[in-house]
Amino acid sequence: MKRAFDFCVAAAALALLALPMALIAVLVWLDSGRPVLFAQTRVGRGGRPFRLLKFRSMVVDAEARGPQRTAAADPRITRSGRWLRRSSLDELPQLFNVLRGDMSLVGPRPDVPAQRADYADADWRRRCSVRPGLTGLAQARYRSRATPRQRLDADLDYVARHGLMRDLEILAMTVAQLLRRSGN
């Protein structure tokens, strides 16, 4: 049921957002050239790698120029990227990841493989026992202000008590966070 819900919502959202997404792609292209999409290997359900898609919000060779995590005033972030990140519109291409089944609308946010070292084995296995999400309980509660401990606790709480009704609650909480414009 959850997979069918994810697929239907992602397909409908992509249909409704096709024009805005095309305009965002043009904005990124005009601001900083091609490619307009950024693809990065992330870890999915069962520990399987997949290519996560985003609108590119940083300079083309950002990974070679600096650390994996970005700071608020990171010089690698483009002009359009600042706006995309603040509004979370850079995440919209992940709806294609949801359609493909790599991700769900709700679940723990997917990590890059190098972040595996940040977790105890049992915690990593539990986080990877469900599909990663476009949003998650940590994002709904804290947006990007969560400490690593808060994020892990929220992710494990979600894994322990996930379901369609909880997903709807987390989606509503995420929309409220976005409307408050409470940081990236």
Q: Average pLDDT per run of 10 along the chain, which is 184 residues long?
A: 95 97 96 94 97 92 68 81 90 97 97 94 97 96 89 96 95 89 53
pLDDT at 177: 86
Residue 15's identity, in one-letter code, is A
For residue 46, is it left (φ>0), alpha (ψ between -120 and 50) or beta? Answer: left
pLDDT at 178: 83
CB 60 within 8 A of CB 32: yes
Range of the domain at 21: 2-180
The pTM score is: 0.89
pLDDT at 146: 87
Q: What are the backbone dihedrals phi and psi of residue 155, each rounded to the nearest 5 degrees, phi first?
A: -65, -45
Q: Please give the tally of structural domains in the chain.
A: 1
pLDDT at 119: 95
Closest CA to 53 of 13, 87, 93, 86: 93
pLDDT at 58: 87
